[in-house]
Amino acid sequence: MKTQLLAGILLFAVLISRVSAQQATDSVNADLKIYHLGEVVITGSTEKETVTREEIAKYNTGNAARALNELPSLVFSTTGSRNEGTIYMRGFDLRGVPVYVDGVPVYVPYDGYVDLARFTTAGLSKIEVSKGYSSILYGPNAMGGTINMVSLKPQKKLEIGAKAGMMSGQGYDTYLTLGSNLGKFYFQGLVSKLSRDYIPLSQDADTSKNQPDRKLNNSYSSDSKASVKFGYTPNQTDEYSFNYIYQHGEKGNPVYLGTDPSVKIRFWQWPYWDKESVYFISKTRIADKTFVKTRLFYDRFKNQLNSYDDNTYSSQTKKSSFTSLYNDETYGANVEASTLLVKKNDIKMAFHFKNDNHRENNVGEPIRHVADNTISFGIEDVYSPFAALTLIPGVSYNVRQSLAAENYDSKNDTITQFPSNRNSAMNAQVAAYYQFTPQLKVNVDISHKTRFATMKDRYSYKMGTAIPNPDLEAEATMNYEIAASYTLADKFTLQPALFYSKLGNTIQSVSNVEPGISQMQNTGNSEFMGGDFTAVYTPLEYLRFYLTYSYIQRHNLTNPDIKFTDVPDHKLFGSAEYKAVKNGTIVLSGEYNSKRYSSSDGKDIAPEYFVLNMQLGYSFLKYLKAEAGVNNIFDKNYCISEGYPEAGRTLYVSLYFNLNR
């Protein structure tokens, strides 16, 4: 109660101290420095939502998963048993929402997921999101939308950026960027590190044998990143760029602290979680109003998982203990051709090729190799019959072909081949955007989208509890959306949306196909529905309010007793930004989530919660900005995944330097 009163007094004092103010110029975040080659551009559409570099700093979100949480219908969640940060988009998980960096796919080949908590926001200019309807140009598996992280590009001859930050839990957040644009040539480099020794728990958190104090046991993490970009722009229309990114991660996995006796306690650590990406992007004009854009890429993912006997993390003698090694690699290309030669049409055609390779083994076992080829052909047209109306139809054909699928028999220590398998799928969609008035724009879109079964879906034994099913077919969904954008006097913006998705051929685990053994099968039908809105109100030049609300319902039509997990019915996020003095800013932000299921039987539930955060920022000496903040002001004891508590009250302080000449 005292903490709440002090926070209220502080906020009130800051507000009344401001009789009049001018909006401060933030020299650190004013220039977004967007790398436009990394975008996927659809002329005339408004289907994308964006998290900018400025907003990432404003809410102190150090990784991509946390940064995306501010958007409506995007729900941050944690895979507690693996300590992974993830995002659900209108109910779809990341298997149906591919993740890209500069338009290059970076999701892990084996299970289609990616730990977004390992992707730090250092070096990003923005994160683009397409919900439900997403361009055919992104390629296959975009059943529920797409996420594209767009990197920085220098604009001036010399650009230096740096951050030095500290946080509760003996955490550090640092980066250094160096860029130069000399006209025809440009260079961008980055080194960064985000680390934390432990997550500090709320004073209301319970202690136990596996959690004796307020430092969450085995919750350490460390993520280092280095990247370099070289670019060449010979003229006003063409551009060529080479990019390299290296990521090194380490993390522990906090043990389950809940009350469900059926949950198996895991003592897991990842000594390395490494990702390496090399890609080339070009845009070339080949004729008047006709362009070709090419991406060539190679991506490598390696990690090691150590499972220990107990919370000392020192021995591996039990049957449940092991050391697992992953060594995945992907290479591919996508080519996009566009032309404006046909009047009132912007026609785009795209070809995607992706070769995925997964290699795994436990120490002492032989390496197993699984490989797929995925190919996609698509065409999309932006047609504007008159100024107020834009129509965007698109269609694509996707094929996945297995190349290798080695099956390991641990009893006989032998390797055989799973049967070869192939799957194809059609995708089609259309969107209509109508500008009723300069203030009001409405869009309606319908799409039929698919997702191929992952390698894990088809081949995993799930530690001896399941039978593989190589012949799984693609999931499919029909997505419907109606949305609008309304602006009043440049002070108030409202963006409501309603959506409905009907999923068929859903891949679900079917129990007892043999006694005590399950199998993944195409047996499910389900529906996702709801609505969301974003409201932005700027009554004064020094005061801004931001609010998003999401309502999501997910129903399993085939097996109603099986619950969908990790997504609350209601989510509310809001912030108030106030320019307290000429160069100073205070940001108050809060989030409410209703309860969510953490197990498919509905027995494990993460209760509803509300957390409040505050940040103070001040720019001085032209190139410097200092920020200090507190997250979870009221030290709320809460969890996103049942049995895995989140951080209590945490403090942070950061100093930014930005030089552009």
What is the domain range of residue 437? 2-660
pLDDT at 349 over 90: yes
Calculate the CA 546 to chain-centre distance: 21
DSSP type of residue 242: E
Number of domains the chain is built from: 1
| Confidence class for position 68, pLDDT limits 50, 70, 90 | very high
For the chain, the helix, strand and coil percentages under 3-state DSSP, each to the nearest 5 = 5, 60, 35
Phi, psi of 420 (to 5 degrees): -65, 145
Average pLDDT on 437-460 reads 94
pLDDT at 466 over 50: yes
pLDDT at 502 over 80: yes
pLDDT at 26 over 60: no
- Report the alpha-carbon distance of residue 517 to residue 467 in Å, rounded: 7
What confidence score (pLDDT) does residue 44 get? 56
Give percent above pLDDT 90 in the chain: 78
- Report the alpha-carbon distance of residue 658 to residue 161 in Å, rounded: 4
- Report the alpha-carbon distance of residue 308 to residue 161 in Å, rounded: 41
Asked which of 71-80, 168-177, 397-406, 462-471 is least confident by mean pLDDT, the reply is: 462-471
What confidence score (pLDDT) does residue 10 get? 37
What confidence score (pLDDT) does residue 43 get? 60
Asked which of 331-335, 412-416, 538-542 is least confident by mean pLDDT, the reply is: 412-416
- Contacts of 462-467 with CB under 8 Å at 24 or more apart are 462/518, 465/516, 465/517, 465/518, 466/509, 466/517, 466/518, 466/519, 466/520, 467/513, 467/514, 467/517, 467/518, 467/519
pLDDT at 15 over 60: no
Average pLDDT on 264-285 reads 96
Tokens for 648? 């209590």
Non-local CB neighbours of 543 within 8 Å, separated by 6+ positions = 576, 577, 578, 579
pLDDT tens, residue by residue, 295-339: 999 999 999 999 999 999 999 999 999 999 999 999 999 999 999
The total number of residues shown for the chain amounts to 661
What confidence score (pLDDT) does residue 45 get? 58
Output the CA torsion sign for 303, 304, 305, 310: negative
CATH number (domain holding residue 614): 2.40.170.20
pLDDT tens, residue by residue, 587-619: 999 999 999 999 888 899 999 999 999 999 999
Q: What does the mean pLDDT of the chain come to?
A: 91
What confidence score (pLDDT) does residue 517 get? 86
Rg (CA), the chain: 25
Average pLDDT on 139-166 reads 95
Angle at 578 between CA 577 and CA 581, to 5 degrees: 145
| Confidence class for position 32, pLDDT limits 50, 70, 90 | low
Average pLDDT on 399-405 reads 96
Average pLDDT on 23-34 reads 47
DSSP type of residue 254: P
pLDDT at 237 over 90: yes
What confidence score (pLDDT) does residue 465 get? 84
Closest-CA residue to 586 (of 4, 15, 69, 2): 15
Do 64 and 51 form a contact (C-beta atoms < 8 A)?
no
